[in-house]
Amino acid sequence: MSENKNFKPIGGVVAAELFMLDWVRNAENIIPGSGINVELADYASHYEEDFVSDNGLVSVQHTLTLVADRQNALPWMEAEFLRRCAGEGVVAMVWLATGEVLTIGRCQRMGLEQALRLQSLNCTSGTRPRHRPTAELVLKCSDLSSAY
């Protein structure tokens, strides 16, 4: 049986790396391997862009949802990370299942002024004996341009 390799890649975020703002004063400092990288749960993380009009002014609402086994997500649960993520924000490099790599939380016009900020961190227990506890980190920002 031959494999059909003519398919469109589907799926959401396969990897993400978060950079605290004091580490990345400009785009040149966003270097893969130097941020906070947590192994993500398969097929659970995703990225959304919503284009919103307010009195004729269009902006982009970015929402990055990262899901990991709770044990892997310990760096997200540190009090200092949460405080800084909520206040200063972060920039994220995101690798999609389609092969695209996005930088979210930084835009051409506004630079790092509209960084991703902590919306929520939700930790859950498993619902069945083989389910593992997870952590879901939701980051949001608004700016004037798409990450795609």
d(CA 123, CA 143): 28
- Listed in sequence order, the residues at least 6 apart from 42 whose beta carbon sits closer than 8 Å to its beta carbon are none
Phi and psi torsions of 42, nearest 5°: -60, 135
pTM of the complete model:
0.84
Reported confidence tier of residue 4, pLDDT bands at 50, 70, 90: very low
Determine the pLDDT at residue 2. Answer: 42
Residue 59 contacts residue 109 (beta carbons within 8 Å): no
Taking only the tens place, the pLDDT of each residue in 6-54 is 444 556 899 999 999 876 666 667 778 889 999 999 889 999 999 999 8
**In sequence order, what are the beta bridge partners of 50?**
61
Residue 118 contacts residue 135 (beta carbons within 8 Å): no
Handedness of CA 40, 90, 81, 50 (dihedral sign): negative
Taking only the tens place, the pLDDT of each residue in 72-120 is 999 999 999 999 999 999 999 999 988 899 989 876 666 667 899 999 9
d(CA 122, CA 112): 26
User: Which H helix or E strand runs over 80?
Assistant: helix 79-87
